[in-house]
Chains A and B, each alone.
Chain A
Amino acid sequence: SAVISQKPSRDICQRGTSLTIQCQVDSQVTMMFWYRQQPGQSLTLIATANQGSEATYESGFVIDKFPISRPNLTFSTLTVSNMSPEDSSIYLCSVDPGTGTYEQYFGPGTRLTVT
């Protein structure tokens, strides 16, 4: 598995502002993913972030709202832009360490509250 950290662990933000969430992995990985987990719900994939290419967004998620950077094989950021209370959620990054098992491991998550 991989050791994954996220910053910040939680934040309270005002509507209309933006927040950038960082995801750091202790080893080089090709595949990183960003998920959202709304209160009481399961995980919804926002986008897949591969180093060296543009992120691939899922239906319902757009780059203008959730821009993603992947500057190297150990780091990625997700920005939640022009936030509204509906963006209140837990945001999780996950990685596939590339062992051929297709297992994904999750970071501790960022709990975002938008007021």
Chain B
Amino acid sequence: QKEVEQNSGPLSVPEGAIASLNCTYSDRGSQSFFWYRQYSGKSPELIMSIYSNGDKEDGRFTAQLNKASQYVSLLIRDSQPSDSATYLCAVNRGSGNTPLVFGKGTRLSVIA
């Protein structure tokens, strides 16, 4: 089983700050990378996908990918209390349409 590692947290940030969530993966053949948000008692919701090295921005979210370092990150700008959730990093097992491997998730708490 290929591994995806995340700090479990909790990561606490004040409202309005930037939250930085990190993820490393072990399979160098992975091509697709995803961030999911999971509120307590709910199912995971896809918020970002990234496939190429560099940054990808969508609203307050920026995903960053560095395949050489096998590192994926998610930045949340202007953090809001509603962003408080567990963020799951997911990586496909190789190229093409393959199942995802999930990290254990980082719990984010945004303090008003």
A binding-site residues for B, Cβ under 8 Å: 1, 31, 33, 41-45, 48, 58-59, 90, 92, 96, 101-109
Contact = CB atoms under 8 A, between A and B. Distances in A.
A101 B96 CA distance: 9
Contacts of B97: 31, 96, 102
Instruction: Among A43, A44, A48, A106, find the residue whose CB has the most chain B CB atoms closer than 10 A.
Output: A43
Given A59-B1, A101-B49, A45 B99 contact: yes
Contacts of B99: 33, 45, 48, 58
Chain B interface main SS type: loop
B43 A104 contact: no
Contact of A104 (B1, B100, B105): B100
Interface residues on B, range: 20 to 34
B110 interface: no
A4 to B, nearest CB: 9
Contacts of B103: 42
A45 B104 contact: no
A58 B99 CA distance: 10
Instruction: Among B34, B44, B102, find the residue whose CB has the most chain A CB atoms closer than 10 A.
Output: B44
A103 B34 contact: yes
Given A33-B99, A42-B88, A43-B88, A103 B43 contact: no
A35 to B, nearest CB: 8
B43 A108 contact: yes
B46 interface: yes
A42 to B, nearest CB: 4
